[in-house]
Amino acid sequence: METVYWRILPGHAIPKDGVSFTITFMISTRLSADFFDRSPIIVARELLGQRLVRVLDGQRLAGLITETEAYNGEEDLACHARAGLTRRTKIMYGLPGHTYVYFTYGMHWMLNFVTGPGNFPSAVLLRGVVAVEGLPVIASRRLNRPQAEWTDGPAKICQAFNIDNCLNGHWMCGSASQLWVEKEQPVADEQVAITARIGISRVPEPWRSKPWRFLAHLEP
């Protein structure tokens, strides 16, 4: 079951002297729990090009997803679930469609989506987006950085979109959410690169080399 939302497109001002005016809109569809209730490898690939939306002070911030990584169960020694069910990893054992937000390096937050199938502990890490809505707010949260470096890393996304502990375990598939993903056109295989995951150089093989990082080259 998918939920339908209306999105008013920017750039359509109401004329001061007019009696009638036009508002242009399109339908935007929020990704459902069914979307996330699959292997993190499938979800990571299919998230490319989709629209991450954050509501901050009633305003929409959004970015198109360009980079993801899959973390796949207790056996995957790069996945936090390698430690089994703990206070931190508990959320990954729960329902797909929740967020998993964690703190690392003493200063950075990381945003993940819990995936499936079912209660299998797995998640997709968001590593990159291209900002497309709320640019002034995003710029102010990434002060003195060039636009290309606003959201091209997992902790940068959380900085730009104001994501921290408060959004850990957040349900993205209901009407009350402040963070969710909206459906966009799929990205073709020709625009997708697949590599090993990064930042896990101490993880033993074969996990270190699993081709579970997905990058999209998005045409504007």
Interface residues toward DNA, by CB under 7 A:
69, 71, 78-81, 83-84, 86-89, 100, 102-108, 110, 112, 123, 125, 127, 142, 145, 149, 153-156, 159, 197-200, 202
Least gap, CB of 12 to DNA (angstroms): 34
Rounded CA-CA distance 69/74 in Å is 16
Question: Token pair for residue 41?
Answer: 């490898």
State residue 185 phi and psi, 5-degree precision: -60, 140
| Sequence letter at residue 172 | M
Of 70, 73, 94, whose CA–CA distance to 83 is shortest? 73
- Sign of the CA dihedral 202, 129, 61, 116? negative
Least gap, CB of 9 to DNA (angstroms): 30
Least gap, CB of 178 to DNA (angstroms): 21
The nearer residue to DNA, 166 or 198, going by C-beta atoms, is: 198
Placement of tokens 């980079």 in the chain: 67
Least gap, CB of 40 to DNA (angstroms): 9
| Sequence letter at residue 51 | R
Least gap, CB of 100 to DNA (angstroms): 7
State residue 4 phi and psi, 5-degree precision: -105, 135
- Sign of the CA dihedral 181, 210, 152, 130? negative
The nearer residue to DNA, 78 or 173, going by C-beta atoms, is: 78
Least gap, CB of 18 to DNA (angstroms): 44
Buried-state track 194-211, b at ≥16 Cβ within 10 A, e below 16: eeebeebeebeeebeebe
The nearer residue to DNA, 69 or 133, going by C-beta atoms, is: 69
The nearer residue to DNA, 100 or 120, going by C-beta atoms, is: 100
The nearer residue to DNA, 3 or 147, going by C-beta atoms, is: 147
The nearer residue to DNA, 8 or 198, going by C-beta atoms, is: 198
